[in-house]
Structure 1
Amino acid sequence: MSFQDKLEAAQKELSEANIWKSNHNPPISVLLIKLGFNIRPFHYCSFISNFITASLWFGSVWGLLMWFTSWQSSGMTIQAALIGSFFAGILFGLFMALYYKHSAKKNNLSHWHTL
């Protein structure tokens, strides 16, 4: 089965489970798919994969936004900003990975390889 076929089957299963479209097809996924990346819906990824992905993108984006909007003008050092971004990313990544793991289990979703 091709990646596109599995993706369509996963989207159908997620819709039938009444999971909000914004939860199973978030903007970051839409963007990456439009850019040509073959990424699974987060409900079908491993805990560690979701943790790393969410931690990296959130920590980076949040850190840059905070640096340019408030941290730089308040005199925060770059090292403190990096540490703050790192811990914010870790916390966000942990909670998002837990959410997707819990949601997949609660809704009795198939595993990616069985779609």
Structure 2
Amino acid sequence: MIRLTKALNAWGTPEFEGALKQEIEQLDGAQLPLQQGLKTGSYALAGHKAMLISTSEDAGIIRVKAGIFYSGILTGCACADDPTPVNEESEYCVVQLDIDKQTAETAISLLAE
């Protein structure tokens, strides 16, 4: 389970956005729905940046909407004579993070935007 402890501890302060972005950017890409959010590529690459879009509180949960910028590639057949160049493509997806205010446990889901 993902725990965004620094973000939870900074909730309600001016440091919240920075703490949240830092924790999201330190997550392994496999912990985010990057593969499912691909629009042009077929494989999500490591390395992503986060942008806070909105926040709200609801029954013990901090609900965050965040944009994730990352890169993907369109893979070919990987044959020795494959002429397809492997170019990185910019990708973007929007996720919702539900942070439990007691435990910092965080559920992350892809939004269709």
TM category, shorter: under 0.3
The normalised TM-score by structure 1 is 0.27
TM-score by length of 2: 0.28
Structure ranking higher on relative contact order (CA contacts 8 Å, 6+ apart)? 1
The answer to which structure has the higher helix fraction is 1
